[in-house]
Structure 1
Amino acid sequence: MELSTAAIDRVITLALAEDVPFGDLTTEAFVPAEATAEAQLVARESGVLAGAEVFTRAMRARDDRVDVVGHLTDGQRFDAGTHLATVTGPARAILTCERTALNLIQRLTGIATLTAQYVAAVHGTGARITDTRKTTPGLRALERYAVRCGGGNNHRFCLSDAVLAKDNHLALAGDLTEAIRTTRAQLPHTTHIEVEVDRLDQIPAALAGGADTIMLDNFSLDELAAGVETIAGAALVEASGGVRLDTVGAIAKTGVDLISVGALTHSARAVDLGLDITL
């Protein structure tokens, strides 16, 4: 579940440039330059932690004398009232970086927490929960990491990673079988090819072309089961479209291999975490 420091620091740099473009007027007016402080990162509600290193690097971004001691690691569950980390050091730096650090860890922990709920809902079925490219612009690496912290899997990271022919591609591609075969001939043998279909009668053409994964988009439960039966292990089967926490368990029971859920990243609610000065 590694996340590169370069990806973290790029986001933090942009966030601080947005939040502190030419100084923190309030902190510099109210807090003496020599003041030090201790603060606790406290959970106001339960969740699954993601972004501990992001929080640490954000808190230290203005002054490396700030020290952050984490009490949990990413992927661990916590209850309301849990102290997740202790921050000590120059008070001005702590206060200036507080909101940026909290925004990021609350967002990532929210994604991990929601992902864990989806993973629990399909437990025992064999289906894997995956994210999508419906991420916050600029935060994809961090949000994808948070999905992994919650026990989910990542779909392709970007348009350069793999082929995923969706409805608009197919509308312009002509014969589906021939389009897949032509695509295969143009690409390295290691490149994965996925095709989205929105009708059962499109599946044979996708299979004939040699698709590695067939996405069944907005299928009913009966149609999903029929699609799984038709594909019969010749390709991975992905269910997608309008997946909710109250429906994902039934979708998994149809026998699909993957369930992609855009809500993991585009609709996750930030978990309520606070930074409380204690000294």
Structure 2
Amino acid sequence: MATKSKTANGKKGGVGETTRFLILLFVFAVLLRTLVVTPFVIPSGSMLPRLMIGEYLFVSKWPYGFSRYSLPFMAPGVEGRLLGGEPERGDVVVFRYPGSEDDWVKRLIGLPGDTIQMRGGQLILNGKPVPKVRIADYLMERTPNSPCRYVVRQAALPTVTENGRTYCRYARFRETLPGGRSYEVLDQWRGEGDDTAVYTVPAGHYFMMGDNRDDSADSRYPQSREGVGFLPRDYLIGRALIVFFSTDGSASWAKPWTWFTAARWNRIGGTF
């Protein structure tokens, strides 16, 4: 009888321990996603060539602190940010698009007090041209989720075919910000966003731009035109940390082996 009682108690304890472990694991996952990192998937080509459609990022929340837009459990009436510091010029930032439930990603170009202008396709920061150097064309493989998209027909460059694969081609440049931080941008066409007025970034706001300059709705355009305008500080969610998966869109959930053939393995692990 004693042995039977001990076994029963052991089984009961095992179920309790497992339940406790699962609850703790759930709480840990919620806290991790809420306070530390959150996933984000790239839905458009506005950040080419750095980010492609179908890429999954981990976004770090702690560098900029927390607001009601990055902490879903906070009351809607709460304003301001808790903890954290200021973003740096050149950061790739995920933010809440004002007036919506959508999250966007762009590069932070202008800090409070900066003046920003585009002149002939060149970025002018605080009255000084940001160095922009022509480098080799960007070749992007044409896949189900990454077609050869150009802002106008005249901007299309001839595709390149290698080893049976077709690649879209875009004119690519390297920009270098004050302080030495550099990144690549695409410049397809002399469009409206290549020549702008001078913008002065107000206190508590930021100026965001996409790296695919002619195919990005960003701070060069007001929200009334589906742009970002000046982004309020409270709308920051976090800084792009690492690409943890990338797919070309050819996978089928019904065919698990295609999850591997569709992966862009050379893109996984990229940091910012």
The TM-score bracket by the shorter chain reads: under 0.3
Answer 1 or 2: which has greater helix percent: 1
- TM-score under structure 1 normalisation? 0.24
Answer 1 or 2: which has greater strand percent: 2
